Amino acid sequence: MSRASEPIQSKIDRGTYRKSRDGSLEAIPNPEPANDQPPPETLQTEGTRIWNDHYPRLKQSRILTIADVPAFEAMCKAFDDVARCDEQLRSEGDFFKNDKGLPVRHPLAVQRDKYISERNSLLKQFGMMPLARGSMQIPPATMGTGISIRKR
Protein backbone atom coordinates (compact mmCIF):
# COMPACT_ATOMS: atom_id res chain seq x y z
CA MET A 1 0.00 0.00 0.00
CA SER A 2 1.46 3.34 -1.02
CA ARG A 3 1.46 6.55 0.93
CA ALA A 4 -1.38 8.97 0.14
CA SER A 5 -0.26 11.95 -1.91
CA GLU A 6 -0.31 15.37 -0.32
CA PRO A 7 -2.83 17.88 -1.70
CA ILE A 8 -1.34 20.25 -4.28
CA GLN A 9 -2.50 23.32 -2.34
CA SER A 10 -0.56 22.11 0.70
CA LYS A 11 2.58 21.69 -1.44
CA ILE A 12 2.15 25.22 -2.82
CA ASP A 13 1.77 26.61 0.70
CA ARG A 14 4.96 24.86 1.84
CA GLY A 15 6.89 25.74 -1.33
CA THR A 16 7.46 22.11 -2.43
CA TYR A 17 5.19 22.14 -5.50
CA ARG A 18 6.87 21.02 -8.75
CA LYS A 19 4.86 20.95 -11.98
CA SER A 20 6.90 18.04 -13.33
CA ARG A 21 5.93 15.69 -10.50
CA ASP A 22 2.70 17.20 -9.13
CA GLY A 23 0.81 18.06 -12.31
CA SER A 24 -0.98 21.15 -13.47
CA LEU A 25 -2.34 23.84 -11.20
CA GLU A 26 -5.59 23.76 -13.20
CA ALA A 27 -6.61 20.73 -11.12
CA ILE A 28 -6.89 22.87 -7.98
CA PRO A 29 -10.51 23.82 -7.40
CA ASN A 30 -10.90 27.54 -6.90
CA PRO A 31 -14.54 28.07 -5.95
CA GLU A 32 -16.07 31.43 -6.59
CA PRO A 33 -16.67 33.45 -3.41
CA ALA A 34 -20.26 33.95 -2.31
CA ASN A 35 -21.92 37.08 -3.62
CA ASP A 36 -23.83 39.65 -1.59
CA GLN A 37 -27.42 38.58 -1.24
CA PRO A 38 -30.24 39.19 1.20
CA PRO A 39 -31.64 36.36 3.33
CA PRO A 40 -34.01 34.09 1.39
CA GLU A 41 -37.69 34.89 1.86
CA THR A 42 -38.31 31.33 3.10
CA LEU A 43 -36.40 32.06 6.32
CA GLN A 44 -38.28 33.16 9.40
CA THR A 45 -37.11 35.36 12.28
CA GLU A 46 -34.34 33.21 13.80
CA GLY A 47 -32.97 32.03 10.43
CA THR A 48 -32.91 35.60 9.09
CA ARG A 49 -31.07 36.77 12.22
CA ILE A 50 -28.41 34.07 11.79
CA TRP A 51 -28.08 34.92 8.08
CA ASN A 52 -27.64 38.64 8.75
CA ASP A 53 -25.17 38.04 11.61
CA HIS A 54 -22.92 35.45 9.97
CA TYR A 55 -23.23 35.56 6.17
CA PRO A 56 -21.15 38.77 5.77
CA ARG A 57 -18.44 37.52 8.15
CA LEU A 58 -18.14 34.09 6.48
CA LYS A 59 -18.14 35.69 3.03
CA GLN A 60 -15.43 38.17 4.01
CA SER A 61 -13.22 35.43 5.45
CA ARG A 62 -13.70 33.42 2.22
CA ILE A 63 -15.07 30.41 4.11
CA LEU A 64 -18.40 30.79 2.33
CA THR A 65 -18.27 30.16 -1.41
CA ILE A 66 -21.08 30.23 -3.93
CA ALA A 67 -21.29 26.44 -3.65
CA ASP A 68 -21.82 26.68 0.14
CA VAL A 69 -24.81 29.05 0.06
CA PRO A 70 -27.47 26.27 -0.09
CA ALA A 71 -25.88 24.53 2.93
CA PHE A 72 -25.73 27.84 4.79
CA GLU A 73 -29.42 28.41 3.97
CA ALA A 74 -30.23 24.90 5.27
CA MET A 75 -28.39 25.73 8.50
CA CYS A 76 -30.42 28.93 8.91
CA LYS A 77 -33.61 26.96 8.25
CA ALA A 78 -32.58 24.47 10.95
CA PHE A 79 -32.35 27.43 13.38
CA ASP A 80 -35.91 28.36 12.37
CA ASP A 81 -37.11 24.78 12.87
CA VAL A 82 -35.55 24.55 16.34
CA ALA A 83 -37.08 27.90 17.33
CA ARG A 84 -40.52 26.83 16.06
CA CYS A 85 -40.33 23.55 18.02
CA ASP A 86 -39.16 25.35 21.16
CA GLU A 87 -42.03 27.81 20.94
CA GLN A 88 -44.63 25.06 20.63
CA LEU A 89 -43.02 22.92 23.34
CA ARG A 90 -43.04 25.88 25.74
CA SER A 91 -46.82 25.84 25.67
CA GLU A 92 -47.34 22.04 25.45
CA GLY A 93 -44.37 20.75 27.44
CA ASP A 94 -41.69 18.18 26.54
CA PHE A 95 -43.69 15.33 28.09
CA PHE A 96 -47.32 14.29 28.28
CA LYS A 97 -49.16 11.39 29.88
CA ASN A 98 -50.25 8.47 27.70
CA ASP A 99 -53.41 6.32 28.09
CA LYS A 100 -51.88 4.49 31.04
CA GLY A 101 -50.86 7.69 32.81
CA LEU A 102 -47.15 7.22 32.10
CA PRO A 103 -45.02 10.17 31.00
CA VAL A 104 -44.12 10.03 27.31
CA ARG A 105 -41.79 12.36 25.46
CA HIS A 106 -43.56 14.69 23.06
CA PRO A 107 -42.92 13.70 19.40
CA LEU A 108 -42.05 17.31 18.65
CA ALA A 109 -39.26 17.15 21.26
CA VAL A 110 -37.79 14.19 19.39
CA GLN A 111 -38.05 16.12 16.10
CA ARG A 112 -36.40 19.15 17.74
CA ASP A 113 -33.43 16.96 18.71
CA LYS A 114 -33.06 15.93 15.06
CA TYR A 115 -33.13 19.57 13.96
CA ILE A 116 -30.51 20.44 16.58
CA SER A 117 -28.27 17.61 15.37
CA GLU A 118 -28.62 18.78 11.75
CA ARG A 119 -27.95 22.39 12.77
CA ASN A 120 -24.85 21.46 14.78
CA SER A 121 -23.48 19.39 11.91
CA LEU A 122 -23.81 22.38 9.58
CA LEU A 123 -22.37 24.74 12.20
CA LYS A 124 -19.23 22.58 12.29
CA GLN A 125 -18.88 22.75 8.51
CA PHE A 126 -18.74 26.54 8.66
CA GLY A 127 -16.40 26.65 11.67
CA MET A 128 -19.07 28.10 13.93
CA MET A 129 -18.49 25.63 16.78
CA PRO A 130 -15.47 26.08 19.08
CA LEU A 131 -13.77 22.78 18.27
CA ALA A 132 -14.42 23.15 14.54
CA ARG A 133 -12.60 26.49 14.33
CA GLY A 134 -9.22 24.89 14.85
CA SER A 135 -9.59 22.67 11.80
CA MET A 136 -10.86 25.42 9.46
CA GLN A 137 -8.57 26.25 6.59
CA ILE A 138 -9.16 29.75 5.32
CA PRO A 139 -7.90 30.05 1.74
CA PRO A 140 -4.68 32.07 1.55
CA ALA A 141 -4.63 35.36 -0.34
CA THR A 142 -4.13 34.93 -4.05
CA MET A 143 -2.65 37.08 -6.73
CA GLY A 144 -3.79 37.06 -10.35
CA THR A 145 -1.61 34.03 -11.19
CA GLY A 146 -3.85 31.46 -9.52
CA ILE A 147 -0.95 30.48 -7.24
CA SER A 148 -1.55 31.06 -3.55
CA ILE A 149 0.70 33.41 -1.65
CA ARG A 150 1.24 32.41 1.95
CA LYS A 151 1.24 35.28 4.41
CA ARG A 152 3.83 35.14 7.18
Greater confidence (148 vs 58) lies with: 58
Predicted local distance difference test score (pLDDT) of residue 148: 45
- Ranges 14-18, 23-27, 85-89, 122-126: which has the least confidence: 23-27
Q: Using alpha carbons, select from 28, 54, 34 the residue that is nearest to residue 119.
A: 54
Sorted by sequence, the CB contacts under 8 Å of residue 77 that are 6+ apart come out as 42, 43, 47
pTM: 0.68
Are 92 and 106 in contact by the 8 Å Cβ rule? The answer is yes
pLDDT greater at residue 9 or residue 130: 130
pLDDT single digits (tens) 36-86:
889 999 999 999 999 999 999 888 887 888 888 999 999 999 999 999 999
pLDDT at position 35 is 85
The Cα-based distances of 92 to 46, 85, 87, 89 in angstroms read 21, 10, 9, 5
Beta bridge partners of 65: 33
The yes-or-no verdict on residue 106 having pLDDT over 50 is yes
